[in-house]
Structure 1
Amino acid sequence: MAEVTRGEAARVGVDLSKRVFQVHAVDRAGRVVMAEPMAPEKFFAWCAQLPAGCEVAVEACGGAHHVARRLRSLGLDARLIAGHFVTPYRMAGKSGKNDANDPAAICEAAGRPHMRFVPVKTTEQQGQLSVHRLREGDKAERTALINRIRGVLVEFGMSFPQSPEALRRVLAELIEDGSNERTGIARLVLQRAHLHWIELNLQMKWCEERIGTHVRSDERASKAAALQGIGPIGASALVASVDDFSQFASAKQFSAWLGLVPGQNSTGGRASLGRITKRGDDDLRTLLIQGAKSAVMTAHKRSDRISQWLVQVKERAGWQKAVVALANKNARILWAMLTRDGEFDANHLPERPAPHCALSQCPET
């Protein structure tokens, strides 16, 4: 029997962790060349010896974009795969997840001809997105802080309207008021919480100033911010997250990537549409939905075509479906603007295609 010789690595799957990278490499025939764990620096030294253009697939996770950029600097074809695309290629299924099976599944998934990969972000994109992450974290912390303040006040028989602004206006006076039963330690707690609230507001203001600077300096973000229901924060996040909108073949594909299209459960030629899929980036979809809510609520005050359409959808299907419809429309308009170098026009009337006719029925020219 002839001896089977294994060639050099043609495709590599890597499962990342903080201290160990699990590596699985195959040759062009699909035979396993190497499968072992490596320390990060040893892994990069090994990758430097791979042939130029070798495909190295990494599951998208924390630090994956940094690893991909470093691999590309070595002349390798680094690709990122979303985790939910890897699971079907794990031989033991969901129950067989371990450090050895994961890189093998990543390597197998990367070899599929129709696999979709995550675009590798630049350092500029990740830097701008870090501002958004900081702002979102501060916002969540501020909400939790306000709820804690309300909890302390309720224990002393005081409740206020849900609006944070209504509480903020009276909080300083409540702390100084000595005519109630709050103890000295309770007053100190409220005072510290109030100072923390002010600090969080200042931090969020700083983040919003950085976001505003990004929108003013980036032409694409400026165009996106002009749409009804997007605004500067949504525009900055969309442009920083996507960067190259031409990676999507159509506006419909971009909207589907954001999870703003209805899910399907169709069979036998009968189409059945359900709720939106909610796939993709949760933060981007949330920004589009929240911005659309504001635009829908004020649509009756405007006279442009989009606002008139919103009023009709709201009356026909309800305001919640109108919100999702506008978020979907904004995503499609944004793709068209940034791939065709256009400007937003709320009264734009699309050109209808000429009707198709048979040659014998067309007028002579």
Structure 2
Amino acid sequence: MGNITRVGVDIAKSIFHVHAVDRFSEVKWKGKYSRSKWLAAISRKVPHGAEIAMEACSSANYWGRELQKRGYKVKIIHAQFVKPYVKSNKNDAVDAEAICEAMSRPSMRFVSLKTVRQQDVQAAHRVRDNLMVQRTGKANQIRGLVGEYGLVAPIGIKKLRQAIPLWLEDGDNGLSSMFRSILKGLFDDLINLDERIDELDKTIQEDVQQDPVATKLLELRGIGVLCASALSSAIGDGKTYKKGRDFAASIGLTPRQHSTGGKPKLLGISKRGDGYLRKLLVHGARAVIRHAHRHNDALSQWLMKLTSTKHVNIVTVALANKTARVAWAIVNNNDSYRPELIASV
């Protein structure tokens, strides 16, 4: 087994399939192991320094770090890039073989292995985003229910919070005692969601203050605490991407292409990758464009020139794309933000 150079692993909840080849792509080992035994099998049969690849899925980062500790080179591949190499019927053993084959392609693109800290930050953002969805749903539910009793709150969740106590205290608004009890429970749920979101905001804020990369990114216009934190976690050291456009493309901020016969045809943005990060960048770009007319710097002039000929949505995505590319350049080059250069990027 000493000549194994490449291993594809199909990871799962309980059973792991392994497919290993040598430098001539000749199969040297196939195996099926339980969760508790597969790492030991890898250590026995695969020499240190060999490349081991897995699909980007739940627990891939954990197993990747465990393999790195044992001296292996770890590569993580997006599932969509593995699928073309699956031959005939699909099963776990075939998936492991396909992963092994896909990792050998010179042009294959790999997903960066996340550190524990990056996963912590990502978890905070995911939980916060889910709580925001729950809070919006709770507010809409309250509005819908009280609307059946002829009560309407002004637009905005802040206004709704102010209105609910007044409805509960008003004895002449037609609300029954049963519905008042239900509304009080819904209001408590809403307040609880607010408190949990505030706690996560503080956690992310504290992390950004301790993260030199996120602190640098805060200098960019259109990037606040949430976006700086998410960007820092997504970019890592920046070495995963060859250039800023590759990073922008990885989060879906570049056009889809459908060309044939030598005739290029560009469509709307691809919307691939991290939709949450793309959303933060787009919202930040909208805020910058809204106030561009108040400034006279190079970026504002560029935006005003674009908005005079293009739809504001196109300009928004263009700025979000530019911001992502500049953020990557700052991280990759360990540089500081230079406003005089951003309009030319």
The SS at the match of 1:10 is strand
Is there any run of 5+ residues in structure 1 with no aligned partner, and where?
A: 1-5, 353-365
What residue is the counterpart of 1:362 in the other structure? none
Cα distance per residue 1:205-246 (max 9 Å; x no partner): 111112112222222111111211111110111101221113
- For residue 70 of structure 1, the aligned residue among 58, 66, 89 is 66
Indicate conservation of the 8 Å contact 2:111/2:240, yes or no. Answer: no
Of all paired residues, the percent bearing the same amino acid is 37
Cα distance between partner residues in 2 of 1:322 and 1:46:
54
**CA shift for structure 1 position 348:** 3.5
Indicate conservation of the 8 Å contact 2:292/2:303, yes or no. Answer: yes
**CA shift for structure 1 position 270:** 2.4
Equivalenced residue count is: 344
What residue is the counterpart of 1:197 in the other structure? 190
What residue is the counterpart of 1:132 in the other structure? 125
What residue is the counterpart of 2:205 in the other structure? 212
Indicate conservation of the 8 Å contact 1:225/1:232, yes or no. Answer: yes
**CA shift for structure 1 position 27:** 3.2
Indicate conservation of the 8 Å contact 2:235/2:328, yes or no. Answer: no
1:81-92 pair list within 5 angstroms = 81-92=77-88
Indicate conservation of the 8 Å contact 1:22/1:100, yes or no. Answer: yes
Cα distance between partner residues in 2 of 1:192 and 1:15:
46
Cα distance per residue 1:313-340 (max 9 Å; x no partner): 2221111111101101101211222233
- For residue 60 of structure 1, the aligned residue among 50, 56, 61 is 56
Cα distance between partner residues in 1 of 2:161 and 2:305:
38
The SS at the match of 1:84 is helix
Task: Output the TM-score relative to the length of structure 2.
Answer: 0.93
Indicate conservation of the 8 Å contact 2:51/2:72, yes or no. Answer: yes
Task: Output the TM-score relative to the length of structure 1.
Answer: 0.89
The SS at the match of 1:46 is helix
Cα distance between partner residues in 2 of 1:128 and 1:7:
39
2:172 paired with 1:176: no
- For residue 37 of structure 2, the aligned residue among 23, 37, 42 is 42
1:26/1:146 CA distance change after superposition, 3 Å? same
2:93 paired with 1:100: yes
- For residue 116 of structure 2, the aligned residue among 117, 123, 136 is 123
Which structure would you say has the larger RCO, counting Cα contacts within 8 Å and 6 or more residues apart? 2
1:273-312 pair list within 5 angstroms = 273-312=266-305
Is there any run of 5+ residues in structure 2 with no aligned partner, and where?
A: none
2:75 paired with 1:79: yes
**CA shift for structure 1 position 155:** 2.1
Is the deviation greater in 168-177 or in 307-316?
307-316
Cα distance between partner residues in 2 of 1:176 and 1:349:
55
The SS at the match of 1:48 is helix
Indicate conservation of the 8 Å contact 2:326/2:342, yes or no. Answer: no
RMSD of equivalent CA atoms: 2.0
1:152-163 pair list within 5 angstroms = 152-163=145-156
The structure number with the bigger radius of gyration is 1
- For residue 32 of structure 1, the aligned residue among 24, 27, 49 is 27
**CA shift for structure 1 position 351:** 8.4
